[in-house]
């Protein structure tokens, strides 16, 4: 990337330690990471290496125990709880492995809901939702309930919900984890299309096939960034870690 460009996300020595029943679990250890506007990166590694913990911190769902996180040049630690919630709603789009659609809302209503929380006017909400559903080829299912959709279709709706708000970055947590290989590949092609249109994407995956879709891959092992997959690099000394 261009060194003159300001990173959208900047992590400096970010560490996360969990304390439960007098047990100290080191989930992340001094993570340094820059993500620039327009990048598509994959965070990969085995189960329990800290991928989901890192994504939770990036998405403002959790806070680091130590280190600094800057989003769009602003230290996240300075944000009040209300500002964190507003930032999540406006700047971060989430795509979850389990879809997280609301069962008694239609496809249209699921995509619209985060925009409603912004106080956005109905006409603008309608335009955003229609455009997002067209983008993921689900406009014809707008009045269906999630239970009437396949897993692949539900994930497309989840992607539409994430992009409708026009966030600064899309965070995808194992977006193919609950899909068969055909639907998984279709979702990856959808993400590739969004990236080609300018979206910044950070995806967590344990599957090297899907990590190859990204422009840059960040390998985690035991809560640390390593030069490559464990079999290709000398890993740090084993330590307890959480995903």
Residue 242: is its pLDDT beyond 90?
Answer: no
Does 239 have pLDDT greater than 80?
no
Mean pLDDT of 4-15: 91
Q: Would strands 92-95 and 169-173 be described as parallel, antiparallel, or unpaired? A: parallel
Rounded to an integer, the average pLDDT of 151-173 is 94
Helices then strands, each counted (H, E), the chain: 7, 10
Q: Which of 79-83, 106-110, 185-189 has the highest mean pLDDT?
A: 106-110
Tokens of 175: 């977006």
Other C-beta atoms within 10 Å of 219: how many? 21
Taken in order of first residue, the domains within the chain and their CATH numbers are: 38-63+74-227 (3.40.50.300)
Per DSSP bridges, beta strands 66-71 and 9-20 are antiparallel
pLDDT at 227: 77
34-38, 48-52, 169-173: range with lowest mean pLDDT? 48-52
Cα–Cα distance measured from residue 91 to residue 169, given in angstroms and rounded to the nearest whole number: 7
pLDDT digits (tens, 9 = 90+) for 219-235: 999 999 997 665 543 44
């Amino acid at each position: 990337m261009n060194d003159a460009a300001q990173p959208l996300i900047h992590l400096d020595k970010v560490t996360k330690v969990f304390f439960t029943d007098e047990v100290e679990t080191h989930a992340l250890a001094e993570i340094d990471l820059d993500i620039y506007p327009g990048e598509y990166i994959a965070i990969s590694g085995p189960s329990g290496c800290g991928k989901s913990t890192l994504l939770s911190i990036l998405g403002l769902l959790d806070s680091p125990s130590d280190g600094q996180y800057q989003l769009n040049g602003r230290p996240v630690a300075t944000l009040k709880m209300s500002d964190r919630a507003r930032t999540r709603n406006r700047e971060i789009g989430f795509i979850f492995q389990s879809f997280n659609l609301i069962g008694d809302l239609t496809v249209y209503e699921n995509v619209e809901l985060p925009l409603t929380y912004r106080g956005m006017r109905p006409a603008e909400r309608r335009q955003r939702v229609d455009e997002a559903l067209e983008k993921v080829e689900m406009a014809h299912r707008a009045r269906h309930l999630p239970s009437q959709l396949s897993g692949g279709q539900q994930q497309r709706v989840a992607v539409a919900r994430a992009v409708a708000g026009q966030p600064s970055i899309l965070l995808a947590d194992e977006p193919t984890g609950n899909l068969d290989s055909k639907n998984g590949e279709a979702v990856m092609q959808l993400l590739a299309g969004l990236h080609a249109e300018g979206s910044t994407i950070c995806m967590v995956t344990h599957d090297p096939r899907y990590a190859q879709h990204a422009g840059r891959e960040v390998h985690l092992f035991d809560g640390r960034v390593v030069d490559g997959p464990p079999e290709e690099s000398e890993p740090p000394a084993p330590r307890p870690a959480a995903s």
